[in-house]
Structure 1
Amino acid sequence: DQVSALLDNSGQGFLSFQGDLLVQPEFSHPCLAFFGGSPAGKPVDELLFSGDEHARDTLRACIEEALKEKDSSRAELYLSLLPEEIAIGARVLKAEFKPLDRAIMVVLTDITGEKALAAQVARERTRLEMIVSAVTYGNDFFDAVAEFTGFVQDGAGMWRGRDRAVLYRTIHTFKGTFNQLGFHHLPTALHDVESSLQRLGSRADGADAAAMVFARDWQGVLNADLETVRDALGDDFMARRGVVTVTPEQAKRFERFARGLLDEADVPDVIEEIAAIRTVSLRQAIGDFDKMIHQISARLEKEVAPLVVEGDDVRIDPEVFGPFLRSLGHVFRNAVDHGIEDPDCRLSTGKSEVGTITCAIRRVDGALAIDIADDGAGIDVETLRRRAAELTAADVSAWDIADLVFADGISIRTEATELSGRGVGMTAVKASVEELGGSVRIDSRPGRGTNFLFHIPFPPQVEGR
Structure 2
Amino acid sequence: AADLAAARDDAAARAAESAALTARAAAAPAIELVVDSGGTILAANVAAERALGYPRGGLVGQPFEPLFADPAAVAPAIGDGADPAARFAALRDALADGAARSVVLLSRRGADVPVLLAAARGDGAAAGELVVTALDRTAGAQAERDRDRLARALDEVTVGVGLLALNGVLSWANRALFADLGHETDCRRGCTRLSDLLRVHDGAAADWLDVTLESLSDGMLDIDLAIDQLPQRIDVGDATFALRYAPIYDPDEPDSVDKLLVTTTNVTEQIAAERGRARQEELLAAFQVLLKDRDGFEEFLDECDRLVDLLASGASFGLEKRALHTLKGNCAINGLRRFAALCHELETAIVDRREPMADGERRRLVAAWADATLELRHLLERRGDDVVAVPVAEHAALVARVEAGAPAAEIAGVLRDWTRARLAQAFERLERQAIAIGQRLGKPVDVVRDDGGLRYDGKRLAPLWASAVHLLRNAIDHGIEPPDARRAAGKPERGRIDLTARCDGDALVVTIADDGRGIDWQRVADKARAAGLPCSTRAELERALFATGLTTRDTVSDVSGRGVGLSAVRDEVAKLGGSIAVDSRPGRGTRFELRVPRAAAGASGPLRLVAAAAQRS
Residue in structure 2 matched with residue 369 of structure 1 by the alignment: 509
Deviation at 1:174, TM superposition (A): 2.3
Residue in structure 1 matched with residue 383 of structure 2 by the alignment: 240
In structure 2, the CA distance between the partners of 1:326 and 1:243, relative to structure 1 (3 Å rule), is: farther
In structure 2, the CA distance between the partners of 1:60 and 1:325, relative to structure 1 (3 Å rule), is: closer
Matched, 1:288 2:429: yes
Deviation at 1:280, TM superposition (A): 1.7
Tell me which moved more, 213-222 or 302-311.
213-222
> With structure 2 as the length reference, what TM-score do the two structures score?
0.50
Distance 1:422 1:291 in 2: 23
Matched, 1:133 2:272: no
1:177 and 1:329 in contact (8 A); partners too: yes
Write the mapping of 1:209-220 to structure 2, written as runs, cut at 5 A: 209=356, 212=359, 215-220=362-367
Tell me which moved more, 394-403 or 353-362.
394-403
Residue in structure 1 matched with residue 499 of structure 2 by the alignment: 359
Distance 1:54 1:441 in 2: 54
Distance 2:221 2:567 in 1: 47
- Residue-by-residue CA offset, 1:279-321 (whole Å, 9 max, x unaligned): 1222331221122222222221x23233111252211111221
**Across the two proteins, how many residue pairs are aligned to each other?**
374
Distance 1:212 1:464 in 2: 40
Write the mapping of 1:248-397 to structure 2, written as runs, cut at 5 A: 267-300=408-441, 302-310=442-450, 312-391=452-531, 393-397=532-536
Which amino acid in the other structure matches residue 430 of structure 2?
Answer: F
Distance 1:460 1:273 in 2: 19
Which amino acid in the other structure matches residue 134 of structure 1?
Answer: L
Distance 2:425 2:538 in 1: 36
Distance 2:11 2:491 in 1: 50
Residue in structure 2 matched with residue 417 of structure 1 by the alignment: 557
Aligned partner (choices 344, 349, 372) of residue 225 of structure 1? 372
SS at 2:335 equivalent: coil
- Residue-by-residue CA offset, 1:391-450 (whole Å, 9 max, x unaligned): 3x3343445442232011101123322211121110111122222232221111122211
Distance 1:91 1:284 in 2: 49
Residue in structure 2 matched with residue 166 of structure 1 by the alignment: 319
Matched, 1:146 2:315: no
Deviation at 1:365, TM superposition (A): 3.0
- Residue-by-residue CA offset, 1:199-218 (whole Å, 9 max, x unaligned): 343xx5xxxx3654863233
Deviation at 1:452, TM superposition (A): 0.9
Aligned partner (choices 174, 197, 200) of residue 350 of structure 2? 197
Name the structure, 1 or 2, with higher relative contact order (CA <8 Å, separation 6+).
1
Aligned partner (choices 561, 571, 574) of residue 434 of structure 1? 574
SS at 1:452 equivalent: strand
Deviation at 1:186, TM superposition (A): 2.1
Distance 2:220 2:556 in 1: 32
Which amino acid in the other structure matches residue 383 of structure 2?
Answer: R
Residue in structure 1 matched with residue 196 of structure 2 by the alignment: none
Which amino acid in the other structure matches residue 293 of structure 1?
Answer: A
Aligned residues with identical type, % of pairs:
26
> With structure 1 as the length reference, what TM-score do the two structures score?
0.64
Write the mapping of 1:3-82 to structure 2, written as runs, cut at 5 A: 36=13
1:360 and 1:371 in contact (8 A); partners too: yes
1:372 and 1:451 in contact (8 A); partners too: yes
Aligned partner (choices 577, 580, 583) of residue 443 of structure 1? 583
2:461 and 2:601 in contact (8 A); partners too: no
Deviation at 1:367, TM superposition (A): 2.5
2:434 and 2:472 in contact (8 A); partners too: yes
In structure 2, the CA distance between the partners of 1:140 and 1:380, relative to structure 1 (3 Å rule), is: same
Which amino acid in the other structure matches residue 381 of structure 2?
Answer: M
In structure 2, the CA distance between the partners of 1:385 and 1:307, relative to structure 1 (3 Å rule), is: same
Residue in structure 1 matched with residue 337 of structure 2 by the alignment: 184
Gaps spanning 5+ residues in structure 1: where? Answer: 1-28, 63-80, 93-115, 248-263
Distance 1:38 1:199 in 2: 43
In structure 2, the CA distance between the partners of 1:195 and 1:403, relative to structure 1 (3 Å rule), is: same
In structure 2, the CA distance between the partners of 1:243 and 1:236, relative to structure 1 (3 Å rule), is: farther
1:169 and 1:428 in contact (8 A); partners too: yes
1:358 and 1:374 in contact (8 A); partners too: yes
Distance 1:54 1:410 in 2: 38
SS at 2:593 equivalent: strand
Deviation at 1:221, TM superposition (A): 0.5
Please state which structure has a larger fraction of its residues in strand.
2
| Cα RMSD after superposing both structures | 4.8
Distance 1:243 1:364 in 2: 32
Which amino acid in the other structure matches residue 168 of structure 1?
Answer: K
Distance 2:9 2:343 in 1: 44
Distance 2:329 2:360 in 1: 17
In structure 2, the CA distance between the partners of 1:229 and 1:388, relative to structure 1 (3 Å rule), is: same
Larger-Rg structure: 2
Which amino acid in the other structure matches residue 294 of structure 1?
Answer: I
Distance 1:213 1:362 in 2: 45
